[in-house]
Structure 1
């Protein structure tokens, strides 16, 4: 039996959006368009980069969002994971700066991402991209918006007509199965999904190892705009697991989902025959 929606959801979305705008301003203070960031940078264990802006935004959002919904647990790229989230109905899922490498290099494709999970399902999402002048918002069942206006995916249903973004090795492999129009990689996974949602592109591929915080907010935005994201074999995306890591993912408008998954299946069969 599904749990009821939050009765304060519309007001909560407005407050979360305002919090993300403020968080974006914190990050923008150290962002240098076309140049190296003014923020101090270092590498985390595993080699991925982090900046003082990531930490500052994370701290700000944890204080602000926890005040908005104190009963919600917390899952963020820049905070030590707490298993308490596995037993909570509500969980904030946050990526302070999705696309940190782009941010560090002065490229515009980075975003502040916030989702709220209810029993593991996204019910609220905000993806705020200050340098791209785009703020995407959604509530489950309420459609998706960009800068306050309704958005929707494209009606494209043929792979040969599709504009697809993703890592070049994945695009090259898929193109050997069926032709399409490749799009330059969008460094922020959240923006890759959001641009499918607003019709800028038709589909996106995501390599293995994405995390809940990269995906949850933009996944709901995509769903509410008439799109879908799944594993490469069509399996559902599950959030708030003990290890919040995902395999290969594909995303598109609903009309393109079946042909894209069929092409991915043929790609897997071809690759297995070569082994």
Structure 2
């Protein structure tokens, strides 16, 4: 852990962070309509992606509260204009106020609030809260990962045959082709795609999914908190070639990624590396 954030200092933040994130969820939930269109106002950002007044309200609340908890930390979030000061900061909050906005606005339960603290470019605290099913995931670097206070671990799956996989269909098909042996594709179990990327990775961390695939164009705020969760749970988030994910770069955009339990890491990397 970075010299600017000791393990004890990180743990000391946990109670206030839990309370803050739950309060943020309380701001969002009144706008959520299970199975139906959100009650929040909706508009489009540059590029056409949707944003709701709930995203903005949660982002504003978290920026005020988290900056108060750790004034020396810089800030990067989906709904705040980027400030290059973060590039020279050792401590950086990485926040997605509502990860899975399309799910949120359409009444799908799989959206989340994701908060990470980077120290020296590496996540040292990570929280992914799914308010609808009330699943609160958290991790401290070197301290393991939990869901609702109970320790979690990635699955022990070690073979692509029978692996539970979710993500974009083209990536799943490439994984299956790359895993082909003697003309037979591995019989993987395709799990319904999880709209929130942070929650998709968190489910690999808790062992309910073995491989979570992520298409190009994810941002730091989609990934950083869940990356720490999975690392602490015995898995990893890498590119298809096995390179670990880097954060707080000038451009926080990522290419294709795989979130995988430890026992499948080499098999998945090998499968993506084959040209079939």
Calculate the TM-score normalised by the size of structure 2: 0.95
Instruction: Say whether the 8 Å CA contact 2:178–2:273 is kept in structure 1.
Output: no
User: Is it true that 1:117 corresponds to 2:125 in the alignment?
Assistant: no
Match of 1:216 among 202, 218, 224: 224
Matches for 1:183-262 after TM superposition, within 5 Å: 183-262=191-270
2:72 alignment counterpart: 71
User: Is it true that 1:85 corresponds to 2:86 in the alignment?
Assistant: yes
User: Is it true that 1:181 corresponds to 2:181 in the alignment?
Assistant: no
Shift of 1:173: 2.8
Shift of 1:183: 1.1
Instruction: Say whether the 8 Å CA contact 2:4–2:119 is kept in structure 1.
Output: no
Q: 1:16-40 CA deviation, whole Å, 9 max, x = no partner? A: 1211111011110100011100000
Instruction: Say whether the 8 Å CA contact 1:13–1:139 is kept in structure 2.
Output: no
Name segments (4+ residues, structure 1) moved above 6 Å.
none
Partners of 1:228 and 1:140 in 2: CA distance: 13
1:170 alignment counterpart: 171
Shift of 1:125: 0.6
Instruction: Say whether the 8 Å CA contact 1:99–1:110 is kept in structure 2.
Output: yes
Matches for 1:1-12 after TM superposition, within 5 Å: 3=3, 5-6=5-6, 7-12=8-13
Partners of 1:16 and 1:265 in 2: CA distance: 40
1:38 alignment counterpart: 39
2:106 alignment counterpart: 105
Instruction: Provide the secondary structure at the position in 2 that maps to 1:258.
Output: helix
Shift of 1:265: 0.6
Q: 1:213-271 CA deviation, whole Å, 9 max, x = no partner? A: 000000000000111110111112100000001111011111110001101111xx23x
After superposing the two structures, state which structure 1 stretch, 176-185 or 129-138, moved more.
176-185
Shift of 1:175: 2.2
Shift of 1:8: 2.1
Instruction: Say whether the 8 Å CA contact 1:90–1:118 is kept in structure 2.
Output: yes
Partners of 2:244 and 2:207 in 1: CA distance: 22
Partners of 1:218 and 1:93 in 2: CA distance: 11
Partners of 1:205 and 1:62 in 2: CA distance: 30
After superposing the two structures, state which structure 1 stretch, 75-84 or 179-188, moved more.
179-188
After superposing the two structures, state which structure 1 stretch, 8-17 or 119-128, moved more.
8-17
RMSD: 1.2
Shift of 1:104: 0.3
Shift of 1:3: 2.8
1:273 alignment counterpart: none
In structure 2, runs of 5+ residues without a counterpart are: 180-185
Partners of 1:95 and 1:89 in 2: CA distance: 20
1:139 alignment counterpart: 140
Shift of 1:14: 1.9
Shift of 1:2: 5.2
